[in-house]
Amino acid sequence: MEEKAIVNDVLSSTKACLKDYEGAIIETANMELRQTFQNLRNSSESFQYELFKLAESKGYYTPAQNAKQDEISTIKNQVTNS
């Protein structure tokens, strides 16, 4: 398997795990278990970001263009006025 495919696969898997951790966190009443899930989520987020930076540096991933300021303002106003 090619390095690019492996990196993209791990990124996708990590994103899925992050969603699962978030679901577990909001459903867990036991504070010790909740903290464990939060720690796992935080570690996974850090890992995902480092892997993203690697993928971007090697040209495996090209992020979307930055939004224009007027687009940001429009969305911010929509969210704030909801």
Q: Over range 5-34, report the average pLDDT.
A: 96
pLDDT at 62 (0 to 100): 81
Give dist(CA 18, CA 12) in Å, integer: 10
Cβ neighbours for 12, distance < 8 A, ≥ 6 positions apart: none
Cβ neighbours for 9, distance < 8 A, ≥ 6 positions apart: none
Residue 80, H or E segment: helix 69-80
The pTM assigned to this predicted structure is 0.73
pLDDT at 61 (0 to 100): 82
pLDDT at 82 (0 to 100): 72
> At residue 79, does pLDDT exceed 80?
yes
pLDDT at 1 (0 to 100): 75
- Candidates 48, 49, 54; CA nearest to 4 is 54
End-to-end Cα separation, the chain, in angstroms: 47
Residue-wise pLDDT tens digits, 22-74: 999 999 999 999 999 999 999 999 999 999 999 999 999 887 888 999 999 99
